[in-house]
Structure 1
Amino acid sequence: YGELFPWPSATCTNQVRNYYVDWRMFRDVKRRKMAYEYADERLRVNALRKNIILPKELREVADKEIAAFPVDSCPVRIRNRCVLTSRPRGVKRRWRLSRIVFRHLADNNQMSGIQRAMW
C-alpha cells in the first residue's frame, strides 16, 4: 500500500477540472490579459485622437486605428469579481471577495486580522 500511495492524501484527492470558478471569470481573465497587452499602444493612439492641436485627418486615422483593436482590449470591459464565487457585485476590492463571502469568512475567524465590530 505504501508503494502505491506514498502520501496519505493521495487516496482522497478531488480532481480539479478548471482553474476558474465559471466561464464568466475565465472571460474576465481573458479581457484583463488583452487589456494589459494593448495598454501602451492604446494609450498612445488615444492621445493622438484627443489632441485638438493635430489636424483632423490625423485624428480620424487614429480613430480608425482604435476601432481596429480587439474589443476586449478596452479596459472598461474589465469587471471586478469575487475569486471564490465569481460574483460581480458587492466585491470588496482589497480582498477580492464578495460581501457575502467576506462576512462568512470573517464570522468564522478565517481571515487574518479581520473581526466583527464589537462595542
Structure 2
Amino acid sequence: MMQHSDDYELLSWIPGGNGGPTRNYYVDWRMLRDVKRRKMAFEFADERRRLNAIRKNTILPKELQEVADQEIASLPRDSCPVRIRNRCVLTSRPRGVKRRWRLSRIVFRHLADHNQMSGIQRAMW
C-alpha cells in the first residue's frame, strides 16, 4: 500500500499534478510562440490559399477581389506562414539553423563531433 508522501512524489512527475505551475516543455517563450504560430498557420492554410487565389485572379470582378482582400485582412495575423521562424529545437536559437535537422549549427557540430548523430561525420580528404 502506498504512503501519503508517495502520492505526492508520483504527482510531481505529472505536469500540473502537484498544483504548481505547469511546464510546457519548451526552452523559452519564443519557442512556444513559434509553435503556436505554426499551429495557427496550419489551421488557416486552406482558407488563406483559397482567398489568395480569388484575390490574385484578374479574371474575376474587382468587387470579389476586394471582398477576398478584406477577408484575408480579417484572418489572425499569426495565421500567415511568413511569421514562422525556424528555431533550434534544443536551444531555441533563431539563426544558423540547419533546416533538415532543426538544429542550430553550434548544436549540430557538437552532436556530430561526439558521434551522437547517425550518418553524420566530419569531412575528410
TM-score, shorter chain, exceeding 0.5:
yes
Q: Alpha carbon RMSD of aligned pairs, Å? A: 1.9
Report the alpha carbon displacement of residue 103 of structure 1 after superposing the two structures with TM. Answer: 0.4
Which of 76, 81, 93 is 2:82 aligned to? 76
1:51 aligns with 2:54: no
Which AA in structure 2 matches 1:47? A
**Bigger relative contact order (CA 8 A; separation at least 6):** 1
- Aligned residue number for residue 66 of structure 2: 60
Task: Report the Cα distance in structure 1 between the residues aligned to 2:55 and 2:30, rounded to whole angstroms.
Answer: 32
Task: Report the Cα distance in structure 1 between the residues aligned to 2:112 and 2:78, rounded to whole angstroms.
Answer: 35
1:32 aligns with 2:32: no
- Aligned residue number for residue 7 of structure 1: none
Task: Report the Cα distance in structure 2 between the residues aligned to 1:113 and 1:58, rounded to whole angstroms.
Answer: 53
Q: Which runs of 4+ in 1 moved over 4 A?
A: none
Task: Report the Cα distance in structure 1 between the residues aligned to 2:53 and 2:25, rounded to whole angstroms.
Answer: 37
- Give unmatched runs, 5+ long, in structure 1: 5-9
Which of 18, 24, 29 is 1:18 aligned to? 24
Task: Report the Cα distance in structure 2 between the residues aligned to 1:112 and 1:53, rounded to whole angstroms.
Answer: 53
**Equivalent pairs, count:** 109
Which of 86, 102, 107 is 2:92 aligned to? 86
1:109 aligns with 2:115: yes
